[in-house]
Amino acid sequence: MTTGAARERSRVGVVVAAILIAGGCSARQEGPQRFAVSGQITFDGKPVPAGRITLEPDTAAGNSGPAGYGNIIAGRFTTYPRMGAVAGPHVVRISGFDGVPAGEMVEGKPLFAEYMTKVELPAKAATVDFEVPRIPVKPAKGAAPPGKPQP
């Protein structure tokens, strides 16, 4: 093999490698199309200071795919980049905190028990607001009043 032919093969190899590497670094998304979801979350009429939201496809309603996730900051949330929600019916789970770090509770004390609701999401970016209702805690039947042990 001549030196010119070897150089030509080397150049071709570099070009092919560059094409393969560039193809592997594409922004193509695997799996179903996901859409950004954002909005406001309030509790007792006030913005939730800190927390998390999960948007899970409602399998009981025939939806499937990956869940969308986001953090709640000062009453607002936006799903993480590339972690939006698929279109269709979803079960939404919201955890809210007072935002005042206390020891291991970096988001503070819980404001309410995990709240669940359902929502239908479109096949495009969407803004959805949630009002977490204040639900009075009812003692279980036969439960002793708070602070008193059961017999």
Q: What is the SS3 string spanning 33-85? A: CCECEEEEEEECCEECCEEEEEEEECHHHCCCCCCEEEEEECCEEEECCCCCE
Average pLDDT of 94-121? 95
Question: 10 versus 68: which is more confidently predicted?
Answer: 68
Q: Has residue 144 got a pLDDT over 60? A: no
Which of 7-16, 91-100, 131-140 has the lowest average pLDDT?
7-16
Determine, yes or no, domain membership for 144: no
Residue 65: inside a domain: yes
> Structural domain of residue 63, as residue ranges?
37-132
Single out the residue of 141, 145, 112, 117 nearest to residue 129, CA to CA: 117
CATH number, domain of 47, equals: 2.60.40
Q: What is the mean pLDDT of the chain?
A: 81
Other CB atoms within a 10 A radius of the CB of residue 34 amount to: 20
> Count of domains in the chain?
1
Regarding predicted confidence, which is higher, 48 or 16?
A: 48
In the predicted model, what is the mean pLDDT of residues 87-101? 97
Are 41 and 130 in contact, with CB atoms under 8 Å apart?
A: yes
